[in-house]
């Protein structure tokens, strides 16, 4: 059978989050595989209450573990590396990355008690990592975290460029600038680029992206104008922004204090790995609290409204000895990820109650995106001249728009979402298979399947409330005439004015008294009847049907 080149997204194609992509080369069904990124996404109350992390189901990878050569991590954002510690035990192959990413990856492995031996650190291009039929190079690209890298994946069927997350920034403050000459070279050596698998996040942003360096002056002006304490929040991993903010603070005559574990960790790792140099000295919260208010800049976590991060804590009251006051200034040097609006607004209002003036990036002065905008994506198509464009890192509407853009430029393109297996060997990509994909939920420390019903039941309890019924069947298979009912998350009284629980108990007692042997002897029949009565009474009383759990205790004859 002829060999073929395949592409299979397991996460990140049809959603923004939990990126995981598979490339394979070899005979159909026997392709040797590499995995690019093992990310997570975050649950929300609407779709995954109580779930700590969501990651791609890697069952297919587990089943095909002997075919996997290695894992590559493009950069250390959680949606690319966050699943590493949880999923690695199911894959157990070498993990290749650059040093900053690797340092954070090691921490993730250590936190879960895993060895860090699998993590292999590499220099960027021209260094080449040979794994099975693949020759892979890390190529620096700018993004909102240091060391984000595209992968050049050379295969017997041609060259793939997998962009990872990127923007075109010639002056990124931290990390390597975008290097058009290097990319021109990449596009023209070998046989040129067969497939560009490309970030689609900002495909709907019509203007060219702006450089991180453009923020230095506006931020300095902003901080200089403030008369009291200034707090700035941004993504902890945006090390370049932290540096820009810190330098602006120092230039405005302030001391810098970092709040938030994630942020301090990022700066430490960035320093230790040498990707961050000349970061201004920082002071402790205790020292900050003793300085005059106009001499301090706090740089804090929680730009997305996270309830337990420093921003939220400061908005609620005293935190680590620091307290915001009327006339202080709070800057969101960040954009709000869709879905996080409520949390951010909650903080803004809490700050307003304290008399703190809130500034955000409405005018674009205090934040730039880490992703390539539409004209930048077009420029990349132009520069790399790929034969095929496969949009990734986007919801369906982003992928579709990106594919339309490529097609309009005469480049073959296809929307491939999670689970689609594309054969990239020929001139046009062909969907050759559809793999069952899904999501794993981290709940506490248990990994459960998204379709296991656990989360479905939680959502139902949250929407409908929960009634629990206990009935007892004695040693002679007779139902005791009493039922014990408890409710949780249901109104205490309904239409009849009597306690709902008592009303249900009365109806159940009546049922138990006349239940025939056939019913009493079957758990299933009993449960069905009890559930029905409980739901009926509750419906009459409060107009909605609760979830019902029935516990039947059968007393054993002694």
Using CB under 8 A, list all residues that contact a copy of itself.
14, 44-46, 49-50, 204, 338-339, 341-342, 345, 348-349, 351-353, 355, 358, 362, 395-397, 400, 443-446, 448, 452, 454-455, 457-459, 461-466, 468, 470, 472, 480, 482, 484-486, 488-495, 539, 541-544, 547, 549-553, 555
All residues at 6 or more sequence positions from 449 whose CB lies less than 8 Å from its CB, including other chains: 57, 438, 439, 440, 441
| Residue 284 CB, nearest approach to a copy of itself (Å) | 31
Beta carbon nearer to a copy of itself, 493 or 525: 493
Neighbours of 431 (CB within 10 A): 11
**Strand, coil or helix: 468:** strand
Cis-peptide into 20, omega within 30 deg:
no
Beta carbon nearer to a copy of itself, 46 or 516: 46
| Residue 418 CB, nearest approach to a copy of itself (Å) | 13
**Strand, coil or helix: 471:** strand
| Residue 316 CB, nearest approach to a copy of itself (Å) | 14
Beta carbon nearer to a copy of itself, 276 or 312: 312
H or E element: which one contains 391?
strand 388-392
| Residue 460 CB, nearest approach to a copy of itself (Å) | 8
Beta carbon nearer to a copy of itself, 24 or 494: 494
Q: Backbone dihedral region of 386: left (phi > 0), alpha (psi from -120 to 50 degrees) or beta?
A: beta
Task: Detail the DSSP E strand segments found in 165-270.
Answer: 193-199, 230-233, 255-259
Beta carbon nearer to a copy of itself, 247 or 443: 443
Beta carbon nearer to a copy of itself, 174 or 490: 490
Cis-peptide into 78, omega within 30 deg:
no
Beta carbon nearer to a copy of itself, 295 or 325: 325
| Residue 231 CB, nearest approach to a copy of itself (Å) | 16
| Residue 171 CB, nearest approach to a copy of itself (Å) | 28
| Residue 519 CB, nearest approach to a copy of itself (Å) | 19
Beta carbon nearer to a copy of itself, 277 or 445: 445
C-beta of residue 96 within 8 angstroms of C-beta of residue 136:
yes
Tokens encoding 102: 């690797």
How far lies 134's CA from each of 93, 365, 422, 458, in Å? 15, 43, 17, 44
Which DSSP state fits 369? -
| Residue 480 CB, nearest approach to a copy of itself (Å) | 7
Distance CA 273, CA 252 (A): 28
Q: Sign of torsion, CA 487 489 493 494?
A: negative
């Amino acid at each position: 059978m002829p060999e073929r080149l395949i592409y299979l997204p397991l996460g990140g194609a049809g959603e923004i989050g939990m990126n995981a992509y598979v490339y394979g080369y070899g005979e159909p069904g026997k392709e040797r595989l590499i995995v690019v990124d093992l990310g997570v996404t975050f649950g929300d109350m609407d779709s995954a209450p109580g779930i700590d992390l969501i990651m791609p189901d890697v069952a297919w990878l587990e089943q095909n573990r002997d075919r996997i050569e290695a894992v590559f991590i493009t950069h250390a954002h959680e949606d690319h590396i966050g699943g590493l510690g949880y999923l690695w035990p199911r894959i157990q192959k070498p993990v290749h990355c650059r040093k900053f990413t690797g340092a954070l990856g090691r921490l993730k492995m250590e936190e879960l008690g895993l060895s860090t031996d699998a993590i292999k650190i590499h220099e960027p291009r021209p260094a080449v990592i040979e794994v099975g039929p693949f020759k892979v190079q890390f190529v620096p690209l700018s993004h909102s975290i240091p060391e984000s890298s595209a992968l050049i994946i050379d295969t017997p069927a041609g060259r793939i460029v997998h962009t990872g997350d990127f923007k075109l920034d010639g002056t990124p403050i931290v990390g390597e600038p975008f290097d058009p000459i290097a990319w021109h070279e990449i596009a023209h050596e070998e046989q040129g680029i067969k497939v560009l698998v490309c970030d689609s996040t900002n495909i709907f942003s019509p203007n060219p992206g702006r450089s991180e360096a453009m923020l230095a002056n506006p931020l300095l002006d902003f901080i200089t104008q403030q008369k009291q304490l200034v707090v700035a929040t941004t993504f902890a991993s945006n090390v370049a922004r932290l540096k820009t903010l810190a330098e602006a603070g120092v230039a405005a005559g302030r001391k810098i204090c970092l709040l938030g574990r994630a942020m301090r960790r990022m700066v430490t790792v960035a320093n230790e790995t040498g990707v961050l140099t000349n970061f201004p000295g920082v002071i402790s919260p205790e020292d900050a609290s003793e300085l005059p208010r106009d001499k301090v800049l706090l740089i804090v976590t929680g730009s997305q409204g996270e309830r337990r991060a420093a921003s939220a804590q400061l908005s609620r009251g005293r935190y680590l000895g620091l307290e915001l006051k009327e006339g202080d200034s709070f800057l969101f040097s960040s954009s709000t990820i869709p879905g996080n609006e409520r949390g951010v607004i909650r903080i803004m209002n809490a700050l307003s109650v304290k008399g703190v003036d809130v500034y955000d990036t409405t005018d674009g002065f205090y934040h730039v995106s880490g992703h390539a905008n539409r004209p930048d994506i077009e420029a990349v198509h132009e520069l790399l001249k790929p034969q095929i464009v496969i949009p990734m890192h986007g919801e369906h509407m982003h992928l579709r728009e990106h594919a339309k853009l490529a097609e309009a430029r005469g480049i073959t393109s296809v929307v491939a979402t999670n689970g689609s297996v594309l054969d990239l060997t020929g001139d046009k990509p062909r969907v050759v298979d559809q793999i069952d994909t899904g999501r794993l939920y981290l709940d506490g420390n248990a990994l459960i399947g998204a379709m296991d019903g656990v989360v479905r039941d939680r959502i139902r309890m949250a929407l409908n409330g929960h009634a629990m019924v206990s009935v007892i069947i004695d040693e002679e298979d007779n139902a005791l005439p009493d039922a014990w009912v408890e409710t949780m998350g249901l109104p205490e009284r309904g239409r009849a004015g009597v306690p709902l629980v008592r009303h249900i108990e009365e109806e159940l007692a009546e049922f138990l008294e006349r239940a025939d042997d056939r019913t009493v002897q079957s758990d299933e029949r009993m449960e069905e009847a009890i559930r029905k009565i409980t739901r009926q009474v509750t419906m009459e009383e409060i107009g909605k049907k609760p979830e019902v759990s029935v516990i039947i205790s059968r007393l054993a004859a002694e």
